Structure 1
C-alpha cells in the first residue's frame, strides 16, 4: 500500500483499521483484489473532500471526519429481525432482492420465479459463478481526487450488491424491487449495483432505502445502469433512511442509441445525504428524463448533484426537481448539463424550484449549462421562494385550518415532480409519505 497522505482523522483511521482487519481476506480474483487495493490507496491519499472542493462546497464533512465507523457485522446483518412490511410498497409485487447492512438476505428476497429473460442475483454470487463479465465495471479506473472519495471507498470495501440483467428484446412487466435496509449503529456498510438492459429490452426498477429504528450508520451505494440501443429503463429512487443516517449514493446511467431512461426520485430521510445522479447520452437519439423532490425538516442536510452529458446527435434530456426545507435544514441542488462537441440537435431542459418553510432553512441551487455544439435547444432555471400568501388566504377563507392549508399547498408543490410516475398505486403512496414527512404546524426548530 502507498504511503498515507490524508490526515489521520478518526474516519480515515477507522478505514485503515478495517482494511488491516481484512487484509488476509481476498476474493481470489486477481483483477478485483488489485482494483480494491488501488481504490483504497486512492481514498487514503486524499481522505474526505474538504470545503475547497467545488463539488462539496455546500456539504461540509468536518463532523463526519471525526466519526469512526466500524465495519458492519455480517453475522449480525444476517440475524437481524427485519419485518418485510417495513419495505412493502403498493404496486410493487414482483422480484425483490434485499440487502441488510450491505449483506444479501435470501430469506427476505423473492427470486424464485423470475420471468424469462430476467436475471437478478447478489453480486457475491455473480462473482463466484462468472466474475469475468463484471470486470469492466468493477475494475474501472477513477480519478484520484478527493471529490470522488466515497466512490473509491465503495469500490474498495463493498463486498456485496446487486446484479440485474435483462436479455435482448425482453420486456419485464413487474418492477424489480431493490431494497437496502440499515439496522446497526456506528458502522459503515457499502453496496454495489450493476444493472444492464439489453437491446430493445424494457425494465422497471424501484431502489428503496429504509431503516430499522434509529440506525446511525454510514452507507454508500454505487449503481451503474447500462442501456443498450432501443432499451427502456424506468427507475424509481425512494430514500427513507433513518433520521440519524449518513447515506452517500452515486447512480450513473449510460444510454445507448434511441434508448430512454426515466428517473423519479424522492428524498425524505437521513441526517446527511448526498446523491450524485449522472447520465451519459452516448447513442444518437438517446433520452434521459428525471423528476425529483427532496423534503427536509429539523436539521437534515440533503445534497443532490445531477450531471447530464449529451455526447451524441439528437439526444434529449428533461429535468424537473422540487425542494422543500423547514426548520434548520439545508438542501443543495446542482444541475449540470453539458452538450459536447458533435452532439448537434440536442435538446436539454432543467427546472429546479424550491420552497422555504422556515426563516432558518436554507436551499442552495446551482444550475449549469455548457454547450460546445451547434443547433442546440437548451434552457435552465432555478427559483427559491415561500408559500404563496394569496393561496394560503384563499384556503383559510374557505374554512380550511392553517395546518391543513400549509400541508396542502406544500404537497401540491412537490407533486409536480411525481405526476408523470405511471405506477398509480406507488405514486399515491409516495404522496402519502410526503404528507407524513412534511411539517404540519409551525416551522420546526
Structure 2
C-alpha cells in the first residue's frame, strides 16, 4: 500500500486519520520541514494562526466546517525561501480495515517559501471492504516566485466515502501545477479552490476521473483571478462505465482590475455504458478588460472511425475501445517527467477499463 514506483524520498503516513511514525520515513533535510499538525500546535502554535483561523461560511462548506471542528492532526509541509532541488515528498493516506466503520478528519498545510520549489505526491489507498468516511482539508500557500508540483493519486477502497477540499493562494510569479487521478471511493467529492492573488501567478490543473460500477464522483473547481497578468490552464477528462456517475463543475472568475488574465478551461468526457452519466458545467465570470478566456465541455462516446481503423489493424472491438479510452485519459499525465511514476498511473488507469489491455498497449501505440 505504501510504495509508489519512482518515489523514494521522505514519507508521511496517516492510517485512518492517525499519524504512523513507524511507517513514515522522515530525515532532516535543510530547508524542508515535515511535521504533523499536532506537533506544530504543541511547539509553535502561533505559526498556524493564519490557516487555522480560516472560516467556512458558505452553505456548501458543511464538510469543511466539520473538518475545522474535528480534525486533530494532519501533515504540515514547509519549504524555506530559496530552497530548490528538494526530494519528492510522499504523503500517504490509508483507509485500513477496522472492527467498525470510522470517520476521520485531517487538516493539511503546505507552505512554499519565496523562490522555493517543492514536489509532492498525495496518495490515497484503502483496503478492500473498508467503508470509512475520510475528510481532508488542505491549505496551500505558494509565496512570490515559488513553485509547487502536486500529484494526487486517489485510489481508495471502492466502498469508502471521501471528501477533499484543496485551497491554494498564489502570490506574485508563483506557480502551482496539479495533476489528479480519481479512481477509488464509492462516493467522492473534491473541491479545489485557487486564488491567483499575485501578479503573473499561474495555475495548471490536469485531471481524470475514471469510474465504474455505481461510483459517484463530484469535482468542483473554483479559480479566481485577483491580480494582473495571471493565467490558469485547466484540462480534465472523465470516463464513466456501467452505472457510475461523474459531475464536473469548473468555475473561473476574473475580478475587477485583473486585466491581462488568461483563463482556459476544457472538460471532455466519455460514456462507456448506456447507464452511465456525466454532468459537466464550465462557467466563466469576467469583470475586467483585456482578458483572454475560453471554456468548453463535451460528453460523448468513442469515435467510430478511430475504432474502425484500429480494428482494421487486427485488434478486436474490445481491445480497440480500451486503447482509445486509455489514450483519451493519458493526455492529463503525459507531462509527468518521472517515468516510473507515469507508468504506474497508466497501469492504474488500465485497471479501471472494462478489459485490461497491457499486452496490446505498445502494439497499439506503434500502429
TM-score with structure 1 setting the length: 0.78
- Corresponding residue for residue 277 of structure 2: 362
2:27 is the counterpart of 1:106: no
Q: Deviations over 1:75-100 (max 9, x none)?
A: xxxxxxxxxxx121111111100000
CA distance in 2, matches of 1:166, 1:341: 32
Select which of 229, 235, 248 maps to 1:333. 248
Select which of 48, 52, 61 maps to 1:134. 48
CA distance in 1, matches of 2:84, 2:64: 31
Select which of 341, 348, 361 maps to 1:426. 341
* Paired residue total: 354
- Corresponding residue for residue 229 of structure 1: 144
Shift of 1:396: 1.5
Q: Deviations over 1:20-54 (max 9, x none)?
A: xxxxxxxxxxxxxxxxxxxxxxxxxxxxxxxxxxx
2:283 is the counterpart of 1:283: no
Deviates more, 1:432-441 or 1:354-363: 432-441
CA distance in 2, matches of 1:277, 1:146: 16
The residue correspondences of 1:211-360 to structure 2 (distance < 5 A) are 211-360=126-275
CA distance in 2, matches of 1:293, 1:87: 22
CA distance in 1, matches of 2:257, 2:83: 32
Select which of 32, 35, 38 maps to 1:121. 35
SS of equivalent residue, structure 2 residue 63: helix
Deviates more, 1:173-182 or 1:369-378: 173-182
Q: Deviations over 1:273-305 (max 9, x none)?
A: 000011000000000000000000010000100
Q: Which runs of 5+ in 2 are unaligned?
A: 357-367
The residue correspondences of 1:65-80 to structure 2 (distance < 5 A) are none
CA distance in 2, matches of 1:160, 1:439: 38
CA distance in 1, matches of 2:76, 2:136: 13
Q: Deviations over 1:369-427 (max 9, x none)?
A: 00000100000000011011111121122111222212111000001111122222211
Q: Contact 1:198 / 1:227 at 8 angstroms: preserved in 2?
A: yes
Structure with greater strand percent: 2
CA distance in 2, matches of 1:139, 1:172: 32
CA distance in 1, matches of 2:314, 2:200: 51
CA distance in 1, matches of 2:329, 2:160: 23
Deviates more, 1:206-215 or 1:93-102: 206-215
CA distance in 1, matches of 2:53, 2:296: 38
SS of equivalent residue, structure 1 residue 160: coil
CA distance in 1, matches of 2:233, 2:7: 26
- Corresponding residue for residue 404 of structure 1: 319
Q: 1:91 to 1:114 in 2, by over 3 A?
A: farther
CA distance in 1, matches of 2:261, 2:66: 35
CA distance in 1, matches of 2:137, 2:327: 32
Q: Contact 1:193 / 1:223 at 8 angstroms: preserved in 2?
A: yes
Q: Contact 1:95 / 1:114 at 8 angstroms: preserved in 2?
A: no
Shift of 1:172: 4.0
Q: Which runs of 5+ in 1 are unaligned?
A: 1-85
Select which of 139, 142, 146 maps to 2:59. 146
CA distance in 2, matches of 1:379, 1:410: 25
Select which of 146, 150, 158 maps to 2:71. 158
TM-score with structure 2 setting the length: 0.95
Q: Please tell me whether Structure 1 or Structure 2 has the larger radius of gyration of its CA atoms.
A: 1
- Corresponding residue for residue 197 of structure 1: 112
